[in-house]
Amino acid sequence: MPNTLTLKPGDKAPFFEGLSTDEGAKISLKTFAGKKLVLYFYPKDDTPGCTAQACSLRDANAELIAKGAGVLGVSTQGVVSHQKFSWKYKLNFPLLADTDGAVGRAYGVLGGDGIVNKLKTAAGLADRVTFLIDENGIITHILDKPDTDRHAEEVLALL
């Protein structure tokens, strides 16, 4: 697990709020109240692993919705970068622009001790971690080494 990841299943999901790819509208944990949430953090838009992961979730989004879950991707790039990435791959879920890294730090996927974590944070690269959050805002599962190509299968098996 990443050095900074202190959350565990059973913990209340930290509140977050930020701008999404949906016309730069605000999106927060409250947006998903009463629904399950697949909250996934990824390092950078339009890179091979991040694209495979996003497309896996895109292709299974109808199945995820059928299981009562919404999807939200989070990385430190801005709204314009997220919109280009979303449009290019026809993503059918929003991305949150965590430009100041506050959401990543709250979830323990950005920051921490050690030279590698400091360099990644300076470059704005969050760890690739997915949190499954239930309808009551409780973390039920944490995938800290998701298979980018099969990510949706991993998530569906846990919902």
pLDDT tens across 8-27, in order? 999 999 999 998 887 778 99
Query: Catalytic amino acids?
Result: 50
Please enumerate in sequence order all residues whose Cβ is within 8 A of that of 53, keeping only pairs 6 or more positions apart, or say none.
40, 42, 128, 146, 148, 151
Look at phi and psi of residue 74 and say left if phi exceeds 0, alpha if psi is from -120 to 50, else beta.
beta
Q: Determine the Cα angle at 152 with ends 146 and 155, to 5°.
A: 70
pTM of the model: 0.90
pLDDT tens across 22-62, in order? 777 899 999 999 999 999 999 999 999 999 999 999 999 99
